[in-house]
Structure 1
Amino acid sequence: MNRYKLTAILSLIALLAVSFAVFKSPDDRFISYITEAKNIQFFYKSQNGQNFGSIQNLKTSIESQKKKLLFATNGGMYKKDRSPQGLFIQDGKIVTRIDTATASGNFYLKPNGVFFISGNNEAQIQTTANFHFSNKIKFATQSGPMLVINGEIHPEFKKGSTNLNIRNGVGILPNVEVIFAISKKEVNFYDFAEYFKDLGCKNALYLDGFVSRMYVPEKNWVQTDGDFGVIIGVVE
């Protein structure tokens, strides 16, 4: 075999390897939804001052306005009275202030962080320590722990951990679109964080655990129950 044929064969093998890496089947342990930041809204209380609570209540409210709910998921942890735990900003107004305390629980597994959308529809995820309030922020929710920090998995997560649970979270893709994901079954923190990292997310944030629900009718994933604080949604 001459060197020209050998070079061609090696080039073909390299091309096939790259193609496999790019087009490999998606991780079917998770349901995800990708959207532009400009489409995202945060919901908390209805016009009568009551928490929406469930995705179904939000869906009913949206449909009463002759609109359609395309996506929804719970948007962070909450207290016993269903008020948001940590920072929550809605339509530019601070509803609850940032929590920088040290305590036990997932929320305080530092670094925790803030997912927010600016007035010019730019989505960001920052650690709580690096977050600086701006009156240009339209929506924000604080939660924890961070899943991915500057391209690296949270240092406290252990591969093969038996700490399994349903989990949902949010990440920023390399093209600056936002990806929300929920595990179909119980997973550990490491595997959940690795899912976002493998998609190229430099930063990703955990939203909540076993109480989590997600509504993605385009993927036949319809969970409309729940009793939440904040709900994140996309409306058409």
Structure 2
Amino acid sequence: MPVKSNHLLFFLLFLCIGCTKKREDENTFVLYKINPQKQNLQFYWKNSKNEMLKSIDHLKNEVESRNDKLVFATNGGMFEPDNSPKGLYIENFKLLKPLDTLQGSGNFYLPPNGIFYITQNNEPGIVETKKYRQNSGIKYATQSGPMLLMNGKINPIFQKNSNNLNIRNGVGILENGEIIFAMSKKEINFYRLAELFKEMGCKNALYLDGYVSRTYLPEKNWIQQDGNFGVIIGVTE
């Protein structure tokens, strides 16, 4: 009997720790998990009039004009001063901006840079830019940096106690092919964001952007419809 009691106690303690961690994550991050095989995930830059969307509010108006409902949206990567995507951008199989393999300053060029993409079969991928190979089966792609996770390991350039704090958002992929989007509700460092994706079971994750980040997720009462950015990633129904 004492052995069984100890097992039960350990199990209850494990559940308690898990619940506490989940609450902590939900207090720190806006989290959204999707199945790209079952949900309509798209990348957006311009509207039907070829005007740059720039904000989630403009995207919401655009999809509603098609009688669709926007259920989730977030900024999908860094951008140039004219709001054009920074680096590679593919939308509906069309290459709209080429791959950026240059060296430079800023988060985009922190090593390694990476690509988040969706194939014609709605299979997601995150890969280091140097390993990316363009092909006709890529339906959507956005380039950003730095990579947060690579094969389950946190980017070694990150420091756990770094005081480089900011609002940050990123994307990760679970082993079952589901996608996790996360945006911090408060200022955090790169390591904490990478750690989140690792704890959730992602093998690869990519940083999307910082203080400009916005997320629209009405099902969790998180509604940010402003913004002034380039690529927007949205889910409609």
Give the corresponding residue for 2:169. Answer: 168
Supply the AA of the counterpart residue of 2:219: E
Supply the AA of the counterpart residue of 1:117: I
Number of aligned residues: 232
Q: Note if 1:12 corresponds to 2:8.
A: yes
Task: Give the CA deviation at 1:90.
Answer: 0.5
Supply the AA of the counterpart residue of 1:140: A
Task: Give the CA deviation at 1:64.
Answer: 1.4
Q: TM-score, normalised by structure 1?
A: 0.94
Mapped to 2, the partners of 1:130 and 1:13 lie a distance apart of 47
Moved more, 37-46 or 226-235: 37-46
Mapped to 1, the partners of 2:63 and 2:10 lie a distance apart of 50
Mapped to 2, the partners of 1:191 and 1:182 lie a distance apart of 11
Give the corresponding residue for 2:54. Answer: 53
Task: Give the CA deviation at 1:19.
Answer: 2.7
Give the corresponding residue for 1:113. Answer: 114
Q: Partner of 1:202: helix, strand, or coil?
A: strand
Give the corresponding residue for 2:35. Answer: 36
Structure with bigger gyration radius: 1
Q: Which runs of 5+ in 1 are unaligned?
A: none
Moved more, 180-189 or 24-33: 24-33
Task: Give the CA deviation at 1:18.
Answer: 3.7
Mapped to 1, the partners of 2:218 and 2:197 lie a distance apart of 22
Give the corresponding residue for 1:64. Answer: 65
Superposed CA offset, 1:105-127 (max 9, x none): 10010111100000011011111
Moved more, 170-179 or 148-157: 170-179
Task: Give the CA deviation at 1:21.
Answer: 4.8
Give matches, 1:134-145, under 5 Å: 134-145=135-146
Give the corresponding residue for 1:217. Answer: 218
Task: Give the CA deviation at 1:165.
Answer: 0.5
Mapped to 2, the partners of 1:231 and 1:114 lie a distance apart of 15
Mapped to 2, the partners of 1:29 and 1:19 lie a distance apart of 20
Mapped to 2, the partners of 1:13 and 1:149 lie a distance apart of 36
Percent identical pairs in the alignment equals 53
Q: TM-score, normalised by structure 2?
A: 0.94
Superposed CA offset, 1:71-122 (max 9, x none): 1111100001111111111111111111111211100101111000000110
Superposed CA offset, 1:168-209 (max 9, x none): 110112332111111111111111111111101111100001
Superposed CA offset, 1:32-86 (max 9, x none): 1111124210011112111011110110111111111001111100001111111
